[in-house]
Every structure is written in C-alpha cells, then in structure tokens.
Amino acid sequence: MDKEFFFDKQAKDPIERVGGRAKVTGAALYTADQQFQNLAYGFLVGSTVAKGRIKSIDTKAAERAPGVLAVITHQNAPKIPGYQTGRDPAKPPTAGQPLRIFYNEEIFYYDQPIALVIADTYERVLHAAKLVKAQYEKGVFQTELGSNLAKAKIPTGPRFEDYKRGEVDGYKNAPVKVEQEYYHPIEVHNPMELGNTLAHWESDQKLMVYTKTQGVEATRKSISDAFKLPPENITVHAEQIGGAFGMGLRTWPYEIAAVMGAQKVGRPLKLVLHREQMFTNVGYRPATQQKIGIGATPDGKLVGITHEAYANTSSYEEFTEATVNLTQFLYACPNVTTRYRLVPLNMCTPIWMRGPGEATGSFALESAMDELAFALNLDPIELRNRNHADVDPEKNQPWSSKYLTECFQMGAEKIGWKNRKLQPRTAQEGDWLVGYGMGTGAFGAMRWAATVKARLQPDGSLLLQCSVNDMGPGTATMMTAVATEAMGLTPAKVRIQMGSTGLPPGPTQGGSNVTATVGAAVNDVCTALKEQIATLLSKEGSRFHTANVHGVKVDDLLFAEGAVSLKQNPAIKMTYTELLQQNGLSVLEQTRESKGQQQQYSMYSFSVHFVKLRVHKPTGRIKIDHVVSCADAGTIVSPTTAASQMIGGAVGGIGMAMMEDLVIDHRFGRPINNNLADYHVPVNADIPNVDVVFVGKKDPYINQMGSKGLGEIALIGMAPAIANAVFNATGKRIRTLPITPDKLMEG
Amino acid sequence: MINFDYIRVSTPTAAVDALAKDKAAQWIAGGTNLIDLMKKGVLNPQKLVDINNLPLKEIRKEGKVLRIGALALNSDVSEHELVLQSQPLLAQALKAGASQQIRNMATVGGNMMQRTRCPYFYNPDMPCNKREPGTGCGALKGFNRMHAIFGTSDKCIAVHPSDMCIALVALDATVLVAGPKGERRIPFQNFHRLPGELPQRDNTLERGELILGLEIPDNPFADHVHYLKVRDRSSYAFALVSVAAALALKGKTIQDVRLGMGGVAHKPWRLVEAESFLKGKQATEAVFREAANLAMRGAKGYGQNNFKLKLGPNTIVEALKKATEKA
Amino acid sequence: MAKDNEINGQPEHSPDQGRRSFLKNSSLLSALALAPPYIVKAAGAEWDEKAARFFERVPLSIEVNGRSRTLSIEPRTTLLDLLREQLALTGTKKGCDHGQCGACTVHVDGKRVLSCLSLAVMQEGKKVTTIEGLAEGEKLHPLQEAFIKHDGFQCGYCTPGQIMSGVACIREGHAGSDDEVREYMSGNICRCGAYPNIVKAIRDVQKGGQKV
C-alpha cells in the first residue's frame, strides 16, 4: 500500500504525449473540424452599445441575402424553457442572473449577441450578419474599474466576508512597513482555438453537441437544464480542445444559441466565434486594484499584512475569485486582514483565467514582499525563509506536504541567484541593466471525484474510460502513465477514451485537480483489476493453481510486461491474454469512483519562479534571459507533459507581466484592441530558455501517487518575479501591469 | 464580405484600364492588408483586379540605381543579394516588419499602400475621419498610445505603420507610377502625406495610378546602417517608435547621414534638420543627442503617447550609436 | 508588353486603346518589366471578367497536397475556408482569420503563407501543401517526429501552423541559431506557451541535417 509510487522510478524514460501523432499530422479533430452532412453556419451579431435596450432590429436584408436560413433575435427566438424559471443554470457558482441570450431587448454589455444569423455557407453567413441593423435606446454605462470604486460591494455569501487574524490592520504598528497600490488590467484567455459549438438535433428529443468546454458533464447539465431535456438524451463531445485556460469553465450564451439555432433550422449548425468576440463574450481575467500594507520588525519578521482588492464583475453576475486568499496563509504572520470587493461594470461576466485570483493576488503580495525586503535591506529569499509558515496559519493545521524551501534552494542554484546584487541598479552590461527576481505561488491541491472504467482486453491491452477532457496539459498522458505503472504495461498497450459524456463521469478540467483526481481513480480502478486478477489466479486450472500457489494477494504479485507473476518465484507467470483465455473471459472489467477525503491537513501545491532579465535603459525594452520555475507538486506522474505545463505557465506569466492589457475606450464602453495584433500575447522571440525543476517528493495524503496539481502554480508568482527583477535591474518599481517599454525608458 | 467580382490581369496596361473602367474596382496584390480590411468591412470593393501576374517582380541593379519592382515580395527583397550589398538598411527594416509568412505574401507596392493600424480606423462603427470623413477622430481624446507626435491635424493623428517605408524615406528612393494620365516619378518623401484636412488620403497617388516600382540610388552608407524598432513585444508587433539610421563615416567624422523615423507621423518621417546638423560633426553620443533634440522640435503628445517625446530621441541616439558601431 | 499577349495567347481588349498604347510604350514600364514566360494560364482579362460577371462562382484549378483539383468557388472564399469547409482538410486551423496568429500557415509554391489572408481564387495553378500533405504515408516528416520528441505543443491547435512554418524556416535557412528560430517563428502564436520546445524541435531537425 505504501510503496513509493512513481517516486523511485523517475529515472526511467518519460512517456511521450498521448495523441501527439494526431496533433502533428492535423488528424486531431477539434469542434469546428467535425464533418456533418447538410451543415449550416451560424454567426452572432453583437450590440454596438454597452447598455440600453434594443428599440428596433431590422433583419430583412439579412433574411433576403443568398443562402440565409434563419435570423434569430429576441423577437422570434424559441422560448428556452430553462430561461423561464428565473435562473439560467448555465452558470459558475456566482450570485446573479446569468445572461439569457435573445431573451429580451435588454443590453448589458458591448457586443452582447442580439442576433444569430444562419446560412448555408460560411461566406454567406458572414456577409448576411453585416446586414442586421439595430436601433438602441442607449443607457448610461460604466466600464472603468478605477472610477467606480465607490460602487464596490462585498460579494454575496460568507466566503467573502473580510478576513482577520490577530489585530485588524496590524501591519501599521510595525517598525518597517510598506504601503502600496497595485493595478492589473483585464487579461483575456485567448486560447488559439476560437469558441465554437457544433449542435445537431438527431431527433426532436436527442441532441449531439461538440463544443469548447473544460467539462462535458457540466455542459450537458447546463444544456439539459436550459432545454429541459433528460441528460441521457444529450451527448456532449470535447475530445479535442484547442486550449481554454479557464474560458471553458462555464456554458456561454453562444453555446445555447448554437443549440437553439440548430433546432430552428433542423440542420446541424456550426457556430464559430470570431476572434473579436473572444474578447467580449466569453469572459476574461478581471481588472484588479489592490492595496497592500505590510510590516515587519527590523530583523525581518512579519508583523502584519493587509491586502485589499477591488475587482470588476459584470452588471448582472457576481464573479469572484481568491484574489486575497494567498495572503491568509502564505507566510507566518500574526496579524492579517484581507478585504475583497466587487465593482459591477457593463461588461460580460469574467471567468477564471489560469492561476485565477491567486495569480493577480500574488502580483501584489509578492511585489510587496520584494519591496519590504528592499526596505529591510534583506535578500528576498531570506525574508521569505524568515517567515516560512511551518503550519497553515489560516486554518492552524499542518500542511499535507510543503517543500517551498527546497524550491527556493533548487531554483536559486539554477538561476545563479548568488550573482544577484542586493542593491538595485548595480549590474550593467553596456546599455542594459541586469536584474534577478523571484515570486512565490501557491494553489489549493484539489482532489475531486472521478469514475474510471478499466477494461483488460484479449490482446492484453487496457482500455480506460472517463469523460474528463484534455484542453492541453496532457490528461491522457497522465492517465496512461498511471496505468502503465500500475499494470506493468507499455504505453502502446494502454488506450484512453475520454472527453465525451456517456463515459464514466470525470471532473471538469479546472483548478489543477485532474491529475490528483483522475489519476487517483485510474490507480484505484487498476488496483481493483489487480485484485480481480489475484482472485482468478487462485482458480483451478490457473498456472498459479497448478503450482500450488493459493490465495495470493495483490501484494504477492508482480505486474510487469503485460503479465502477472509471483514475486517470490517469477517463473510462475501468466500474461493477461492467457489469463483471460484460461478463464474464458472476453474482457476483465472494473469501474471505480474515487474521490478526495476531508483531511486534517492543508493541501497546497507551491511554486517559485526565478527570472533573470535585462532592461535596455534608453528604450525600456525588457529581454528575459532565463526563467527557472520550481514546483512542489508532489509526485510528478508524467514528467514530459508536466514540464511543458510549467513552461506554458511561465509564458502566460510573462504575457501577464509584460504585455497583456485589454484596452477599453470608456467613452464607448468597448474594447479597442480586441484582436491578436493589438492585444499582445508572447511570441516565440519573447521567450528564453525555461528550466523546470520539480521537487518531486510525494504528498503522503492526497492520493496514492502523492500527486498534487500544477496547472495554476505554473503561472502564479511569475508576474511578480518579473516585476521584482525589473526593480532589481533598474531601481524602478512598476506597480501597474503590463510593464511596457514606455514605463522603463530613461534619459 | 460581399461577393465581389474578380479578374486577373497580366499587364500594367490592363491593370490601369480595369480601374479606369470601374470605379468600384480595386487592385489586389499580396492582399495581406486589403483582405484584412475587407473582412472588417472597412473597405468594400465590388471588384478586385488581381495584379500579381504583372511583370513587376524584378530586383536589379542598373548603373548606380537599384530597381525593385512593385510586386517583389517583402521576403525576397529582404534577402536579395543586391539589397543586402547595396541597401542593407532596407533589408533590416523589412525583416523588422510583420512575420515571415506575411513578408512572403506582401509586395513592396502593397507595403507602401498599407493603411494605418489606428483602432478607430479599423472599426467601422467608431468615429474616424480617415475611414469616414466628418465622423471625427476617435483617437484625439481616446486611445492614442500608438499615435503620431509629428505633423498631426485635428482631423487625424494616425501613424503610418510600415517599417520598409522608414528605410526608403531615409534612402531617398523614388517611386515610379503609371496611371491614366501617364507616368510619373515621385520622390519617396512626397509619396505619403500628412493628414491635414484630408486624412482619408494616405498618399499622393491619384485614383487609378499604379505603383510600378522603386529606384534607390547608391549611397555610401552600406557599412553603417541600423534599423531600430521599439515595440511592446520582441517581434510581430507594430512600432512604438522606430528609427532608420545611415551614416557615412570618415574616421569619426560624419560625412553624410540619413535618418527616418516610424511610429511618429502619418507618413514616414525624415529627420532633415537632424541630418544637416550632424553633417561634418563627430560621431559621438553627445552630438547624437543634440541632433535628436533638434529632430524632436515641433513634436506634440496627445496624452497616452507623450512617452514618444522621450522614447523618440532616445531611439534616434541608439540607432545612430548602433550604426556607428558597425564597421 | 506585346510579348505578354503572345505568351498568353489571349489578346487584351480595352475600350480605350489610346490609353493602353500609351502605357505599352512607357519607358518606365519597359525598364521594370520582366518578360516572364511563367505567367498563369488564365491571365487574359476578358475571359476572367466574363466569368466573374455572370457567375457568383469562378473556376479554380489548384493542386493540394499533390492532388490536382478543379473547383468552382466564390471569389471571396479564402484559401483557409476552402481547405477547411470544402476540401475537408481541417488540419489547417483558424485562430484569428486576420493574419495575426499563424495557425493557418500553409505552403504555396513552397513558401509559407497565411491561408486566411489568401483568396483561394488567387491561387490558380499553384501548389498548396498543408499539414496533411507533409508526411509520406505513415512516415512522419522529421519535424513532425521532432515535435513529438520535444513535446513542442500542448493543446495542438497551433501545431499544424507551427510545423508548416517550422519546415519552411529550416528550408529558408533561418534556423541557424536558437535566436534566429525564435525570430522567424514569431509569426506563429502558441498560447499554451510551448515555444522553448518548438525551438528545440526545429533546431534538432536543422542540426540533424535530414532532408526537410
């Protein structure tokens, strides 16, 4: 039971990404790639005002345009039964009334869909969509966070009440203190795949949907609730998802529109959002204005931290995230106060974006820690070590595992931290100022529930089924890694079926839970299979039976090379194929549900990001020379894909720190850089070599593998690492992201 | 997009005819900007006249002039041996623009004709005097971080987006055009125009005039050139400010110098005053700084782009330093 | 100029012969004119113009992944939408539809281009290679192998564009150093952030000296 799962075997070759061949040959089929006979094309027309009511909408020209099959607006939209009940179930757990598409004439935000045009070709639908014209009664709208702080309110529900430990605002009494404000603009997920849904009513009671979701079960429930269809009549497919980063964590109105449209025209309908609509209709990371007050004794012991955050939400829903929560547990600190407020704006509701609130919160907290270290004339790592939280100070209970100190050591070594100057602006190469910075990340190590079915087949291969899907991190690879390890199979002998409803239910891919959750379920179901095998071995006719080996337990057996053998006498051995044959079985099948248990431990994954960069004095350009990202994520099940995920998080953090910024013209209430030329995300030339370091020590409690998640911590802490390195290089503290050249040029 | 008509022509004559015949027609070459704008609904030509088969792709040296056909691809020009030898500044500027895929499609003529990237121009339901005269300038009191600091008018503060053209204005290129009324040669600095009262006009071409190509005279700058582009990410982004610098040095003495500046005006900006100041002086940072300050006379910020008033001269100095370093 | 007409075998007509002959005799024109023998077949203006005027669709002959196709398309159809929606070659992806991401990169006559900004009708007579045409049967192209080996992707959506771009990058001779690859691959956005592994894959193939 307590064998060192994986941990002793890290030296072996990591397995290749499952499904890689399909991806490099173009054979992998994403939603919009699905081929259907008689396919119709949908396109959404958006509101040109940010608030108000539709006075009139003229669809005649569009309806008359060649190839147009239907134009749906609030005036003629079929009634969505779920919309009539008051609350659209297509929602994240937030308060408010989710947007009901084509429900009435009310406009809440710019580019809110006002019509769905459907035509027989893509070219024709695009053209016809341009012909829809609406008149509005314009309302007064607000789209700017900073000028609307007076409207801020505490989110509904007990989780968001102000937090206090020790004395309220106790930092103020500290001999050394820093009080600063930090701002982070709106960031947009922008996965490369556009939001898209392909809906096909196979009969008036049977629906098939391909869509960009991170959870097919959740999407099915939303559609089922909206259309009042039994879930078993709906199949949701998301076998291939071209990235999502959180954008697929709820069912969006456009997905409902596609289902509605397919019903209206009685044909399979493909609705692909335009890239511009990806900026306006499918969520984003909200802007935050944060204030940190932090104080310490002269020898660097924290006295208090107060962390306040204002974040925007929409005017119709309260979107919340854990922006201030890191501050509650990351450091041993007696006096901690946090306050979290929402400001409603006339925009689409935000949605969690990779690292979610913790990523924005860490920008403020980890920048402030760096500012405090400077004020104390201390190395920032030393300041963190002096305030290491040996137990969780928030819940006052032990950590299940925490190897943050190891992350500091390993990362500092790799980046060459010893070359960092304590005094900023003292390292220079020509016109370039050189700096080092670091930032810490942490995120709850989640383990939810998953059911996995395992089927050992006559050819000795193993089929695993689970409805969980993979937006990119390598879920199938992780599952394969767990199964090969458990069953002694080569990766080629393991096949994964996943990503659609109808399979045993898996979790939504979010909150870094999947490896801990589904991996554990794979492990459990393999254990069940092994127990069944052990039972079969005892039966008459078995080679084990013949050899007078009776009543063997799983622990007595070795599962390797597609066969089971006796540990004490490996010559007594049967291949899985032989075993099935001998027992006259076509397959051996087990299904297990597996879920996390309430523990008396605080479970978190931790990361530390290190950056070495240069700033060009005259022009303010930043050149990142080296990134080292260290993670304490427990046992690393699939080193190749885990490393890629860490690199990806670092790249996301570089984008957040240096370029991403959705600019809104508040006079019109609309974004003006809603395209990939003007909204900058990192390109290849921005990214240096990224070294990934895993501590690789198992968590004893989370699951049998000892694996915690790492999707979020890959990004959390990266932005402050860059801001801190910029300070170390230039002596300039940038508290408003992104850090663009104009903020750093000198002269 | 409307379902426009499409024809292909194979001679400049036929190309000019096709536009003269049909007011709703427009030429298409690489299409990298035109198709983008058509998808956005900014431009809606009813007929496209494909000029890619015109025999205007050649790059060749004739005496002391480098001739480049209007349909030569940006990537081909940027790597052509003759360009690398005699006009390396042009090669550098081209490589700083867009991506290799776009450079493989975009032509020299098309690059000169590309429209501004001002977001108000690009969004058909925003005010923009360039797209729809009389609707006002959205950028003047709106988002103007990317916008012009030189030669603006109250009608338009957009910038010309090309990198290539910044080098060409510095290199004293000449544009060869042919149209219904005949042919003419336009000095490059007169090709693009300032917005004034007619921001809808980017350049001085008459309707129906076709760019045939460019001539770039030989110069003594090949050893000391540098194109410096400052942008928000390392590649594949438009310039905040860019500077094309070319020096002819004898020892440390500046014999001749050319300076072009991008991201600062409605046209490729030539720094004439700075050039005359620099001639005959020593190539030192202090001298460069003085020249840069001269160059910035008359510059005006609009709020978000005020940083260009500082980034501009810094970039001039840096480009000159870099150009000097090369031997 | 007269030579062009002979090669095309199609006399050009114009209502305004005077203007035309003026242009024909232009010295500037002759100075710049190549006399290219390779001009596309259908270049004669009259024939195309008729087709465009009387039909919404125009004919197109194009070679895609080695297979010649004769199609009838609307002039406004982009090469990307033609590949995806009419030829079921969905390996080429749409990421922005405006030339800002590189997901739609294909090779046309051996050069990497963006299919979203290419009108299909303008590819008359050209050879198009998409990701589906890169492998030789079951044998993957070396760069496809290298992407798997170095895990040069996560979600895989930008991957076809990255690989088509990467193959061209090597063939162009722009893969000589890590930094050169970074610059010449910057037209292909990967939001999963697989850039360092993409650079490794391309450099590996370039250094390996295999035929690409």
| Tokens, residue A46 | 């958006």
Q: How far is A327 from chain C (nearest CA, A)?
A: 28
Residue of B nearest to A675 (CA): B119
Q: What per-residue confidence (pLDDT) applies to A91?
A: 53
Contact C195 A650 (CB under 8 A): no
**Residue C71 counted as domain residue:** yes
Cross-strand partners of A338: A163, A307
Please name the chains neighbouring C, where neighbouring means 3+ C-beta pairs under 8 angstroms.
A, B
Residue of A nearest to C81 (CA): A122
Q: What per-residue confidence (pLDDT) applies to C15?
A: 35
Residue of C nearest to A474 (CA): C154
Residue from B143, B310, B321 whose CB has the most chain A CBs within 10 Å, to mutate: B143
- Within the 126-165 window of chain B, which residues sit less than 8 Å (CB to CB) from chain A? 126, 138, 141-143, 145
Residue of C nearest to B235 (CA): C186
Residue matched to tokens 């480009």: B319
Please tell me which residue, A88 or A245, carries the higher pLDDT value. Answer: A245
**Residue C43 counted as domain residue:** no
Least confident of A106-110, A699-703, B193-197, C29-33: C29-33
**Residue C186 counted as domain residue:** yes
Is the same domain home to A310 and A229?
Answer: no
Q: Is the pLDDT of residue A585 over 80?
A: yes
Is the same domain home to A436 and A462?
Answer: no
**Burial label, A13 (beta-carbon count in 10 A; 0-12, 13-18, 19+):** exposed
- Please check whether residue C2 touches B, CB under 8 A: no
Cβ neighbours of residue A597 closer than 8 Å, sequence gap 6 or more: none
Is the same domain home to C95 and C124?
Answer: yes
Residue from C85, C93, C192 whose CB has the most chain A CBs within 10 Å, to mutate: C192
Give per-residue pLDDT as tens, A173-232.
999 999 999 999 999 999 999 999 999 999 999 999 999 999 999 999 999 999 999 999
Is the same domain home to C164 and C128?
Answer: no
Contact C154 A472 (CB under 8 A): yes
In order of their start, the domains of chain B are 5-53 (3.30.43.10), 225-325 (3.30.390.50)
**Residue C51 counted as domain residue:** no
**Residue A171 counted as domain residue:** no
Q: What per-residue confidence (pLDDT) applies to A545?
A: 86
Residue that terminates a domain, selected from C133, C158, C187:
C133
DSSP string, B164-220: HHHHHHHTT-EEEEEETTEEEEEEHHHHB---TT-TT--BSPPTT-EEEEEEEE--S
Q: What per-residue confidence (pLDDT) applies to A696?
A: 95
How many structural domains compose chain A? 3
Query: What share of chain A in percent tops pLDDT 70?
Result: 97
**Residue A617 counted as domain residue:** yes
Is the same domain home to A607 and A522?
Answer: no
pLDDT band at B102 (very low <50, low <70, confident <90, very high): very high
Is the same domain home to A639 and A736?
Answer: yes
Q: Please, where are the H alpha helices in chain B?
A: 12-21, 34-40, 74-79, 81-86, 88-95, 100-103, 108-113, 119-122, 164-170, 188-191, 272-278, 285-295, 308-325
Residue that terminates a domain, selected from A564, A580, A595:
A595
Is the same domain home to A343 and A300?
Answer: yes
Residue of B nearest to C45 (CA): B9
Please tell me which residue, A544 or A617, carries the higher pLDDT value. Answer: A617
Round the average pLDDT of chain A to a whole number and report it: 95
Is the same domain home to A332 and A422?
Answer: yes
Cβ neighbours of residue B178 closer than 8 Å, sequence gap 6 or more: B12, B16, B209, B210, B212, C23, C26, C28, C29
Q: Identify which of C1, C15, C124 has the shortest CB distance to residue B11.
A: C1
Contacts of B100 in chain C (CB under 8 A): 112, 165, 168-169, 172, 174, 184, 187
Residue of B nearest to A661 (CA): B232
**Residue A546 counted as domain residue:** yes
Which range marks the domain in which residue A679 is found? 288-443+600-743
Is the same domain home to C119 and C151?
Answer: no
Residue that terminates a domain, selected from A595, A619, A654:
A595
| C-alpha separations of B144 from A673, B222, B268, B307, C54 in Å | 12, 36, 18, 11, 46
Residue that terminates a domain, selected from C133, C167, C194:
C133
**Under a CB-based contact definition with an 8 Å cutoff, are residues A646 and C196 in contact?**
no
Round the average pLDDT of chain B to a whole number and report it: 97
Is the same domain home to A200 and A74?
Answer: yes
- Within the 151-210 window of chain C, which residues sit less than 8 Å (CB to CB) from chain B? 165, 168-169, 172, 174, 182-184, 186-188
Q: How far is A627 from chain B (nearest CA, A)?
A: 16
Is the same domain home to A564 and A530?
Answer: yes
Q: Is the pLDDT of residue A362 over 60?
A: yes
**The residue type at B60:** R
Contact C32 B56 (CB under 8 A): yes
Contacts of C14 in chain B (CB under 8 A): 13-14, 17, 21
- Please check whether residue C39 touches A, CB under 8 A: no
Please name the chains neighbouring B, where neighbouring means 3+ C-beta pairs under 8 angstroms.
A, C
**Residue C196 counted as domain residue:** yes
Q: How far apart are CA B204 and CA C129, in angstroms?
A: 40
Contact C98 B36 (CB under 8 A): yes
Q: What per-residue confidence (pLDDT) applies to C200?
A: 98
Which range marks the domain in which residue C152 is found? 142-208
Torsion sign over Cα A469, A475, A479, A482: negative
Residue of A nearest to C154 (CA): A472
Give per-residue pLDDT as tens, C108-151.
999 999 999 999 999 999 999 999 999 999 999 999 999 999 99
Q: What per-residue confidence (pLDDT) applies to B203?
A: 98
Is the same domain home to C79 and C118?
Answer: yes
**Residue A97 counted as domain residue:** yes
Contacts of A623 in chain B (CB under 8 A): 234
**Residue C87 counted as domain residue:** yes
**Residue A187 counted as domain residue:** no
Is the same domain home to A385 and A489?
Answer: no
pLDDT band at A86 (very low <50, low <70, confident <90, very high): low
Is the same domain home to C64 and C109?
Answer: yes
Q: What per-residue confidence (pLDDT) applies to B235?
A: 98
Contacts of C157 in chain A (CB under 8 A): 30, 191-193, 242-243
**Under a CB-based contact definition with an 8 Å cutoff, are residues C75 and B5 in contact?**
yes
Please tell me which residue, A157 or B155, carries the higher pLDDT value. Answer: B155
Torsion sign over Cα C187, C193, C198, C199: positive
**Residue A156 counted as domain residue:** no
pLDDT band at A7 (very low <50, low <70, confident <90, very high): very low
At A494, is the secondary structure helix, strand, or coil? strand
Q: How far apart are CA A483 and CA B6, in angstroms?
A: 58
- Please check whether residue B206 touches A, CB under 8 A: no
Is the same domain home to A522 and A608?
Answer: no
**Residue A327 counted as domain residue:** yes
- Within the 24-63 window of chain B, which residues sit less than 8 Å (CB to CB) from chain A? 39, 41
What is the pLDDT averaged over residues B16-44?
Answer: 96
Q: What per-residue confidence (pLDDT) applies to A1?
A: 33
What is the pLDDT averaged over residues B227-249?
Answer: 98
Q: Is the pLDDT of residue B270 over 60?
A: yes
Q: Identify which of C28, C121, C188 has the shortest CB distance to residue B178.
A: C28
Contact A659 B232 (CB under 8 A): yes
Contacts of C48 in chain B (CB under 8 A): 6-8
Q: Is the pLDDT of residue A401 over 80?
A: yes
Contact C124 B8 (CB under 8 A): yes
Contact B101 C39 (CB under 8 A): no
Contacts of B214 in chain C (CB under 8 A): none
- Please check whether residue C35 touches B, CB under 8 A: yes
**Residue A181 counted as domain residue:** no
Give per-residue pLDDT as tens, A94-136.
788 999 999 999 999 999 999 999 999 999 999 999 999 999 9
Q: What per-residue confidence (pLDDT) applies to C39?
A: 29
Q: How far apart are CA A54 and CA A48, in angstroms?
A: 10
Q: Identify which of C43, C76, C165 has the shortest CB distance to residue B101.
A: C165
Contact B101 C184 (CB under 8 A): no
Contacts of C90 in chain A (CB under 8 A): 26, 29-30, 32-33, 35
Is the same domain home to C126 and C148?
Answer: no
Would the pTM count as exceeding 0.90?
A: yes
Give per-residue pLDDT as tens, A456-471.
999 999 999 999 999 9
Q: How far is A115 from chain C (nearest CA, A)?
A: 21
Contact B10 C43 (CB under 8 A): yes
Is the same domain home to C124 and C72?
Answer: yes
pLDDT band at C22 (very low <50, low <70, confident <90, very high): very low
Q: What is the CATH number of the domain that holds A386?
A: 3.30.365.10
At C84, is the secondary structure helix, strand, or coil? helix
**Residue C120 counted as domain residue:** yes
Q: Is the pLDDT of residue C24 over 60?
A: no
What is the pLDDT averaged over residues A129-151?
Answer: 98
**Residue C86 counted as domain residue:** yes
How many structural domains compose chain C? 2
Q: CA-CA-CA-CA torsion for A477, A480, A486, A487, nearest 10 degrees?
A: -160
Residue that terminates a domain, selected from C75, C98, C133:
C133
Residue that terminates a domain, selected from A578, A595, A612:
A595
Q: What per-residue confidence (pLDDT) applies to A3?
A: 43
**Under a CB-based contact definition with an 8 Å cutoff, are residues B222 and B85 in contact?**
yes
Cβ neighbours of residue A80 closer than 8 Å, sequence gap 6 or more: A100, A103, A226, A227, A256, A260
Is the same domain home to A391 and A292?
Answer: yes
Q: What per-residue confidence (pLDDT) applies to B229?
A: 98
Q: How far is C33 from chain A (nearest CA, A)?
A: 36
Is the same domain home to C128 and C61?
Answer: yes
Q: What is the CATH number of the domain that holds C124?
A: 3.10.20.30
Is the same domain home to A462 and A427?
Answer: no
Residue of B nearest to A276 (CA): B40
